[in-house]
Chain A
Amino acid sequence: MSGEEERALPGRPLLSDDLPPTRRPTGPLPPPITTGPNVSSPRYERVSRWSQLSTYYVPIGVACAVAFFFLLGSLRYFSVSFVIQNLPAGIGPCETSLEFTTYTFVIGLGLAMGLGMVRAHPPRRDPSLRRKKARGRFSYLWQWPLYGFATGYVQAIRGTPFLVQLYIVFFAVALTAPSFSFLGWSQFYWIGFIALLINTTGYQAEAIRGGIQSVEAGQIEGAKAVGLTRFQTFFRITMPQTLRLVTLPLTNEWISNFKTATILSYISIFELYEWSSLNIGLNDNRPVEAFVLLTIFYLGINVTLSRVMTYVEKTRRIPGLGTPTPEVGMAKRLFGTGGRNRDLLGLGAVHVSARDAPGPIQGSPPSTEDTNSA
């Protein structure tokens, strides 16, 4: 009994005597491991992250890109210099796309805050009203029209394609005001702007509703218990937490808004897709180059933005708020290094090799005495 307890004590290394005789190592003992990878060391972190990035992501990305370009090169028409020459011409249309996306996104965010707030609080009798009080019994009914409107709006936007919304706005505006120009924009630009605004507002409202509702109930309870009013609770506790929780969903929403803006080409707004498909793809008769040009713009902007925002969110995150990145638990076991899970090529496991271990592992001479006397 006591022997087992002693064995369970922390800090005592497993000795070869502890193993059953059949499994005792024979021959010279391996050199002792004086230092393992220290997880909390910043150097380890940096090495690990860099090794991941450099060892598997970049080479494979490059390989794929090369394969892709070989594929394209097999087509008779592809020319790299054409792509490079025409890259600057895309900056103007790209600006148009970005303007539409960002303006509608920012204005839509304001509207979506209101809608999301309404959607997150379905009409419900205030539980703090006393039961016997008849006056308060139906006092929440006024919220129904507001909630109904918000729900109907969000459902309608999320349930129909943007193309349909665009054309409904198009013909609705065309019926009421056939031709106008306002603030230097023609009616087509305004139609596109309004349609995109309506669209993104619906999606953002849903993101914000999700954020508000994922604030834990315990937080609200705690706020009540220290005597905050409902409004104070909302603006001091719920909203600050929500804004942090919805950072990444809203980034995704911006990206998807950016992609949706391509559909504005249906009403002949000269944005990225219109430029590449019409000017390069059809007029210059260079479809492959047009696709590559478009890929450069979209991949460049979207992948960069999402990586940067993920990084920013990760570094500025308050511990305990929001779901931890899934990489910490499961991934370690799935991608894990050691034992049966070692990488086939050993690429992911660079940081456990002697080269990257933070301690002086290479210089230490193998001494069998230390292990046995411990």
Chain B
Amino acid sequence: MTGGSSPASTLSPGSPEVRRRDWKTRLRGGAKKVFVWKIWSHVVYGGAAVVGGILFLLELGYLGVYHLSFALGALHSFLAIHPLQGFLLSLEVVGVILPVGFGLGFLVGWARTTRFVILRGLGSVFVDFFRSMPPIALIFFFALITGLELRGSGIDPYTAQTLIMWMGVVALALHTAAYQAEIMRAGILSVPAGQTDAADALGISRMRAMFVVVLPQAFRLSLPALGNEFSSSIKDTSLLNVIGWMELGGVSLALAANSIEYSHYLAGSLVVWIEAAFLYFVVTYIATRTVRGVEDLFKVPGLEVAKS
């Protein structure tokens, strides 16, 4: 590091030679990776994916399907709705589900590792129930039963409708919370017991040791699994249309149906779904990339987990 004798260290960090070398090592999948460059690469990849996605959408949505459908009848214009609107709604729902699920999952996961019997029991019942039920059933029945409860309660229909639809989102949040609780618990338990022993030996109290020793390591260990769980909860939002949400899945269903019903254009429906697939892929890709970026930020030698 200090000696200027080797040729590599005479180059300045941002110089073109170094950047080229980094590109080469990246392409070769070499072990030498530059820290700063790695973080920016996520931004670059993510940005490229977003720009590419939007361009593709405009291209396909307006130029392709729109004109074709205009010739054959009406597709987007008939419903006056565009996949991008559904896409934005999906993102909005995801923005609710992920924080709620993460917070709740963290609490439940932690509760399952404490010494309090009641907390542990409740936690495992919660996790068992919400993990083994299919998300679509949770959404549908949460909404349906809420509707049943609200019947005759005198709430105005608009509020009732809003409440019912958001209960579906709550169901999804609980579903993902159960998964994240399990991930968090596994993370906490896989911190070696020697770590708490050492904390005990230093006279750190148990609660404090949890915050300063165990949880930081557990969080780091469970990040890859959390990334997978984030992307799978994003994918689960495509089921919200069973209770009437017009998110990306719902919009695609409507557009595909219209393309057949009114335009007699069967291929149009396929195009609509491919478009939806692309949009979902972009979102999940960005989510996993982001989590990987966070992993790099919190990288600690000796605490690596196998990338999944």
Contacts and interface: CB of A to CB of B under 8 A. Distances in A.
Query: Do A and B share a direct contact in the complex (Cβ within 8 angstroms)?
Result: yes
Interface of A: 55-57, 59-61, 64, 75, 77, 122, 155-156, 158-165, 167-168, 171-172, 174-175, 206, 210, 213-214, 255, 259-260, 262-263, 265, 273, 276-277, 281, 287-288, 290-291, 294-295, 298-299, 302-303, 306, 323, 326-327, 329-336, 340-341, 343-345, 347-348
Given A294-B137, A298-B133, A281 B144 contact: yes
A64 B125 CA distance: 8
* Chain B contact surface mostly: helix
Given A167-B252, A299-B129, A294 B238 contact: no
A294 B122 CA distance: 21
A343 B117 contact: yes
A171 B256 contact: yes
A77 B148 contact: yes
Contacts of A64: 121-122, 125
Given A326-B186, A330-B196, A332-B193, A295 B252 contact: no
A329 B189 CA distance: 8
B263 interface: no
A294 B193 contact: no
A164 B117 contact: no
B269 interface: yes
A263 B135 CA distance: 10
A276 B145 CA distance: 13
Nearest to A327: B189
Interface of B: 29, 113-118, 120-122, 124-125, 128-129, 131-137, 140-141, 144-145, 147-149, 186, 188-193, 196-197, 206, 231, 235-236, 238-239, 249, 252-253, 256, 266-267, 269-270, 273-274, 276-277, 280-281, 284-285, 306, 308
A164 B145 contact: no
15 contacts: A59-B121, A160-B280, A161-B236, A168-B273, A174-B266, A206-B308, A210-B308, A265-B136, A288-B145, A299-B132, A327-B189, A330-B188, A334-B196, A344-B116, A348-B117
Contacts of B281: 155-156, 159-160
A295 to B, nearest CB: 7
A334 B118 CA distance: 15
B252 A294 contact: no
A303 B137 contact: no
Given A164-B280, A343-B115, A343-B117, A262 B134 contact: yes
Nearest to B267: A175
Contacts of B277: 156, 160, 164-165, 168
Given A171-B270, A277-B141, A330-B192, A295 B133 contact: yes
A273 B137 contact: yes
Contacts of A259: 132-135
A329 B193 contact: yes
Given A161-B238, A303-B128, A336-B115, A171 B273 contact: yes
A4 to B, nearest CB: 19
A351 B262 CA distance: 72
Contact of B266 (A59, A175, A277): A175
Contact of B273 (A167, A255, A273): A167
A213 B305 CA distance: 12
A118 B308 CA distance: 15
Given A323-B190, A330-B189, 19 more contacts: A60-B117, A60-B125, A75-B148, A158-B231, A164-B276, A172-B270, A175-B266, A206-B308, A213-B306, A255-B132, A259-B133, A262-B136, A263-B136, A273-B136, A331-B113, A333-B193, A333-B196, A336-B115, A343-B117
Contact of A344 (B117, B141, B252): B117
Contacts of A172: 270
B13 to A, nearest CB: 29
B116 A159 contact: no
Contacts of A276: 137
B141 A345 contact: no
| B135, B236, B253, B277, most chain A CB atoms within 10 A | B277
A55 B136 CA distance: 34
Contacts of B116: 344
B115 A335 contact: yes
Contact of B249 (A163, A277, A291): A163
Contacts of A273: 134, 136-137, 140
A287 B141 contact: yes
